[in-house]
Amino acid sequence: MNKSEIKAFLDLWVSRMNQPEFIENDPISIPHSYQKKEDKEIAAFFAAVFAWGQRITIINKTKELLSMMDNAPHEFILGHQESDLKQFLGFKHRTFQATDTLHFLSFLQSHYSRHDSLEDAFLEKGEFGNAALALSRFHRYFFSNEWSPQRTRKHIPNPETKSTCKRMNMFLRWMVRKDEAGVDFGIWNRIPVSALLMPLDVHVENTSRALGLLTRKQRDWQAVEELTGKLREFDPVDPVKYDFALFGLGIHQRTIHIPPMK
């Protein structure tokens, strides 16, 4: 396929996957169950952080954690007492342990006591800049206390270590993108959609390589920038909408022949 054929092929799959039916079986269903903006942010943040492994497990573990907050996470985070934290000592999801949970809750309490939205954590003087700077800035902010546990750092990736930051890029996509399909939320208005980068996981990687959109051998931050750059040629305003297509095609790749770009 040539470039225009690739674009048409991906646009078709975006239209197929970017539908309300996508929500039910995806971790994005968790924040969709809340109405309050802050609750959506917090639920989405945990769902994104937990997003590795089987989707049903991600959904169930996020629900379990939020149920410990009486399914009112913003209210709980601002108003909980130290005694309320004991219940979290038994919570874990894969390598996410009680120490990590307690640090996340502490960070969120500190942040929301001073800001109305988690969006502020990705901005500097009200500006986003670019994704690499914003994610690095967020990482430093998240671990700005001297007692921040070292083991928790793996759960908030940083472009400076060449991580793809897949989960944080996905979280930003959820919060920033907005279209008529209503899958993504679009509740943050100070980060331009055009500045978002692709959430690069194994499904997206495999499809992108099959299409000739990704040539870098390593799956790292430079691969994210390379792929997003190619997708901006298809849509400079909303390049990450192709996450729907590349992810969907990655799941169905065994049954669909994907001819490479010429």
3-state helix, strand, coil in the chain (%, to 5): 60, 0, 40
pTM: 0.94
- At 176-196, the pLDDT tens digits run 999 999 999 999 999 999 999
Beta bridge pairs of residue 96: 93
d(CA 69, CA 190): 29
Domain-wise residue ranges, the chain:
3-255
For range 115-126, the mean pLDDT: 96
Residue 167 has pLDDT above 60, yes or no: yes
Task: Show the CA angle centred on residue 231, arms to residues 227 and 236, nearest 5°.
Answer: 130
Residue 260 has pLDDT above 80, yes or no: no
Lowest mean pLDDT segment, chosen from 105-109, 120-124, 145-149, 159-163? 145-149
Q: Closest Cα to residue 178, out of 240, 116, 224?
A: 240
Beta bridge pairs of residue 31: none
Q: Residue 161: how many CB atoms within 10 A of its CB?
A: 13
Question: Please, how many CA atoms are within 13 Å of residue 262, restricted to the half-sphere of its CB?
Answer: 4
Residue 250 has pLDDT above 90, yes or no: no
- At 200-209, the pLDDT tens digits run 999 999 999 9
d(CA 135, CA 91): 27
For range 139-165, the mean pLDDT: 95
Q: How far is CA 38 from CA 96, 200, 220, in A?
A: 23, 26, 31
